[in-house]
């Protein structure tokens, strides 16, 4: 299966919903990030001259994904950038039980003359928010973006 996402137009009105999946939790985080990125811009129209590392930790996997996706929106707003790609690695500390994310966002400064800008995502919401590991071991998330 690998990582994948699909937008769900029939779920919410006035906002944007998507489902993301991954064979691993790292793939889920990358797929969900790519969905947020694609909601904001066509990633193929964005150069790769800018990078930023992101490191986050949370006790619960759902909280970590929520913070990660909101970090992408926050960085877009504060740095004035949009993204071409993302790399994400999630590990679980077996001793203390928290989840850790190490990620890299790759993109460029916003430039409407060169980029296919789409929706201005304001935030990730908790409305209909869900993260779970499926029976076969794959990971699933349902996310609604405030636009």
Q: What is the mean pLDDT of each run of 10 residues along the chain (147 residues)?
A: 67 76 96 96 97 96 98 98 98 84 98 95 93 92 93
pLDDT of residue 93: 85
Residue boundaries of the structural domains of the chain: 4-146
What tokens appear for 67 in the block? Answer: 């913070």
pLDDT at 70: 98
What is residue 94's predicted lDDT score, i.e. its pLDDT? 74
DSSP symbols for the chain: --SEEEE-TTT-SSSEEEEEEESSHHHHHHHHHHHHHHHHB-GGGS---EEEEEEEEESSHHHHHHHHHHHHHHHHHHHTEEEEEEEEEEEE-TTT--EEEEEEEEEEE--TTTS-B-----EEEEEEEEEEE-TTS-EEEEEEEE-
Q: Please report the pLDDT score of residue 16 as a whole number.
A: 85
Superfamily name with CATH number, domain 4-146: Archease domain (3.55.10.10)
Q: What pLDDT does 136 receive?
A: 85
> What pTM does this model have?
0.91
């Amino acid at each position: 299966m690998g990582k994948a996402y699909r937008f769900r137009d029939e779920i919410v009105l006035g906002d944007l919903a998507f489902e993301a999946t991954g064979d691993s939790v790292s793939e889920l985080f990358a797929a969900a990030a790519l969905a947020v990125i694609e909601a904001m811009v066509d990633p193929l129209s964005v150069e790769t001259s800018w990078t930023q590392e992101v490191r986050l930790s949370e006790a619960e996997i759902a909280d970590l994904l929520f913070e990660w996706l909101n970090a992408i929106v926050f960085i877009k707003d504060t740095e004035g950038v949009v993204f071409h790609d993302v790399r994400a690695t999630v590990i679980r500390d077996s001793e203390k039980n928290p989840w850790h994310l190490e990620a890299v966002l790759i993109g460029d400064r916003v430039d409407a003359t060169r980029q296919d800008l789409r929706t201005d995502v304001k935030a990730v919401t908790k409305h209909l928010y869900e993260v779970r590991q499926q029976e076969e071991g794959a990971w699933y998330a349902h996310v609604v973006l405030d636009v």
